[in-house]
Amino acid sequence: QVHLVESGGGSVQAGGSLRLSCAASGDTSSTYCMGWFRQAPGKEREGVATVNHIGDTDYADSVKGRFTISQDNVKNTVSLQMNSLKPEDTAMYYCAASPCAGYLLLGIRADFNYWGQGTQVTVSS
């Protein structure tokens, strides 16, 4: 069992930046892929970015070049640096984790086992 806690959400004007962090606790002895997902009101949840323990990444087309995901295997954290934010980035952002052996990377369309409670990101125009 893995417990995930997100932090770093907030409100920002378009063009601004935010950094989300997610701390994992519990059974961290296994190797995990981690990711960030988001859900806006009235829309389905979508994958934003994922990463594996060796740093391979997958990004949604809508955030490529603006968002960067990184994982700290020592601290058991995953971060999402979000730059050049747009109003359409407004959503609840969720951290997710799933066991991920070897060099496997779970992409943004994969199913993840563990989820955080979410942190709100609001971008105003």
pLDDT in tens, 98-117: 998 878 899 999 999 999 99
pLDDT in tens, 7-19: 999 999 999 999 9
Contacts of 64 (CB under 8 A, 6+ apart): none
Contacts of 42 (CB under 8 A, 6+ apart): none
- Give the three-state DSSP class for 48: strand
CA angle 76/69/5 to nearest 5° reads: 45
